[in-house]
Amino acid sequence: MSETIRIVEVGPRDGLQNEAAMVPTATKIALIDKLIEAGHGTIELTSFVSPKWVPQMADAADVARHFADRTNLRLPVLAPNLQGLERALDCGVREVALFTAASDAFNKRNTNATIDESLQRFEPMMDLARSRDIKVRGYVSTVLGCPYQGDVPLSEVVRVARALHRLGCYEISLGDTIGVGTPRKARAMLRSVANEVPLSSLAVHFHDTRGQALANVFACVEAGVRVVDASVAGLGGCPYAQGASGNVATEDVVYALHGMGFETGIDLGKLVAAGRYICSEIQRSNGSKLALAWPE
Ligand code: HMG
Ligand code: MG
């Protein structure tokens, strides 16, 4: 039997959060429906951040409520603080993702907090999540470089990942927020973290700003990671990371993984259709090479 890799589809959140023009809530919901139809079992729906900081996510409650009864799926949402977690819980959310970084300079611009302040913020959130039986994922951003600070010490990546794991995050996603990593560096970073946090609790999250994302995914899969974040049609970027482009395109990752003999549970034709749908709705070019080659 072939081995499975779990794809965490982040298109509706990481993909759309950077769109300047407001994407209608109905379009976001239709995209998520198409991703579910394509076989995705884990989709990051939206984020309960401050709408003053990220206006595109102001409809988080409407999106989350719409999918609250889909208990057969894992549908995490981002929450930056207790207020965000409480808003998410009011909507029937059963899984959240917290986010911090390995660079203070980035974390301050992204969440108005140092790394250590954000870890303190997470403590009451973890208590509340535990009391409600909510699963919590954790993100570490800027694991291979920071747009403000430059190099990021590996020791800091390891420290923050370990702290999130100790706080009780069941999975830590290691984010190359600005896509500066290259395959051997990505693999070395993963291995360093895996010395302190079990590899089975790690995921990788590559942005494709310099065309390295798929190679980085490959290097980390070869090193044993079995959870990969990706964004349909390569949508996205980060509003607080200048020049950051979208995540690695889910279609390209799934094609590569199937070719390597892994299972993902995803139907490529339906996934391509979901990517084409959102690109046409928001008038954006498709960031997946596979989608360009796929028959109309
Ligand atoms: P702050 O301004 O310090 O917050 O922002 P505050 O606590 O001082 O509150 C200020 C106002 O915001 C108040 O409203 C609060 O009620 C409101 P006012 O009294 O002025 O009317 N507020 C909220 N409203 C709704 N929901 C909330 C919330 N919190 C406060 N949750 C804060 C701090 C963390 C809120 C802000 O910095 C923020 O929302 N940041 C989010 C930025 C973001 O979404 N970035 C992108 C996601 S991370 C990412 O993309 C990286 C990732 O993909 C991995 C990778 O690629 O590396 C995950
Ligand atoms: Mg990201």
Atom of ligand 1 nearest to the CA of 207: 56
Report the C-alpha gap between 253 and 256 in whole angstroms: 5
pLDDT, residue 166, reads 98
User: Which residue, by CA, sits nearest to atom 1 of ligand 1?
Assistant: 112
296 residues of the chain, pLDDT tens digit each: 789 999 999 999 999 998 989 999 999 999 999 999 999 999 999 999 999 999 999 999 999 999 999 999 999 999 999 999 999 999 999 999 999 999 999 999 999 999 999 999 999 999 999 999 999 999 999 999 999 999 999 999 999 999 999 999 999 999 999 999 999 999 999 999 999 999 999 999 999 999 999 999 999 999 999 999 999 999 986 556 666 679 999 999 999 999 999 999 999 999 999 999 999 999 999 999 999 999 98
8 lines ligand 1 (CB under 6 A): no
pLDDT, residue 238, reads 58
- Cα(178) to ligand 2 centroid in Å equals 8
Rounded to the nearest 10 degrees, the angle between the axes of helix 154-167 and helix 115-131 is 20
- Cα(1) to ligand 2 centroid in Å equals 32
- Cα(291) to ligand 1 centroid in Å equals 34
Report the C-alpha gap between 107 and 25 in whole angstroms: 28
User: Which residue, by CA, sits nearest to atom 28 of ligand 1?
Assistant: 50
User: Which residue, by CA, sits nearest to atom 30 of ligand 1?
Assistant: 50
177 lines ligand 1 (CB under 6 A): yes
The CA-based diameter of the chain, rounded to the nearest angstrom, is: 50
Ligand nearest to the CA of 108: 1
47 lines ligand 1 (CB under 6 A): yes
pLDDT, residue 1, reads 72
Distance from the Cα of residue 181 to its chain's centroid: 17
Pick the catalytic residue: 146, 169, 220, 238? 238
pLDDT, residue 17, reads 94
Residue 146 annotated as catalytic: no
Structure tokens at 23: 């994407």
Cα dist from 115 to 103, 155, 230, 231, whole Å: 7, 14, 25, 26
pLDDT, residue 296, reads 87
Domains of the chain with CATH codes: 6-293 (3.20.20.70)
Atom of ligand 1 nearest to the CA of 143: 57
Strands 227-230 and 135-141: unpaired
Neighbours of 267 (CB within 10 A): 15
pLDDT, residue 2, reads 87
Report the C-alpha gap between 236 and 195 in whole angstroms: 31
1 lines ligand 1 (CB under 6 A): no
